[in-house]
Amino acid sequence: MHRIILLVVVLLLTVSIPLASVAAGPQCATIQSGTITDSAGNPLTVGFDQYGYNYQAHQFNGTYDSVDRNLDGTYFGQTGDFVDDRLSMKWSDDWLSNTDCDGDNELDRGTDDISLGWETNHVTGEYIDGDGNEQHYTYFVKIVWVGPGGSLWGQYEIIQENYNDPTGMYHWHEAAPGFGLNDHWTSN
pLDDT for 8 beyond 70: no
Q: Is the pLDDT of residue 83 over 70?
A: yes
Rounded Cα–Cα distance for residues 56 and 170 (Å): 35
Burial class of residue 176 in the structure, from the number of CB atoms within 10 Å of its CB (0-12 exposed, 13-18 middle, 19+ buried):
middle
36 CA to centre of own chain: 15
Q: In what order do the strands lie in the sheet with 134-145?
A: 53-54, 59-63, 86-91, 118-128, 134-145, 156-164, 171-174
Confidence at residue 176, expressed as pLDDT on a 0 to 100 scale: 55
pLDDT digits (tens, 9 = 90+) for 87-99: 999 999 999 999 9
Per-residue pLDDT, averaged over 146-162, amounts to: 93
Q: What percent of the chain has pLDDT over 70?
A: 75
77, with CB counted inside 10 A (0-12, 13-18, 19+), is exposed
Average pLDDT along the chain:
81
pLDDT, average across residues 48-65? 96
Selected residue with higher pLDDT from 114 and 12: 114
Select, from the ranges 8-22, 58-72, 158-172, the one with the highest average predicted confidence (pLDDT). 58-72
Contact 76, 39 (CB under 8 A): no
Report CA 18 to chain centroid distance, whole Å. 33
Binning pLDDT at 50, 70 and 90, where does residue 127 land?
confident
> What does the alpha-carbon distance between residue 183 and residue 160 come to, in Å, rounded to a whole number?
17
pLDDT, tens digit (0-9, with 9 covering 90-100), for 99-122:
999 999 999 998 888 899 999 999
pTM exceeding 0.85: no
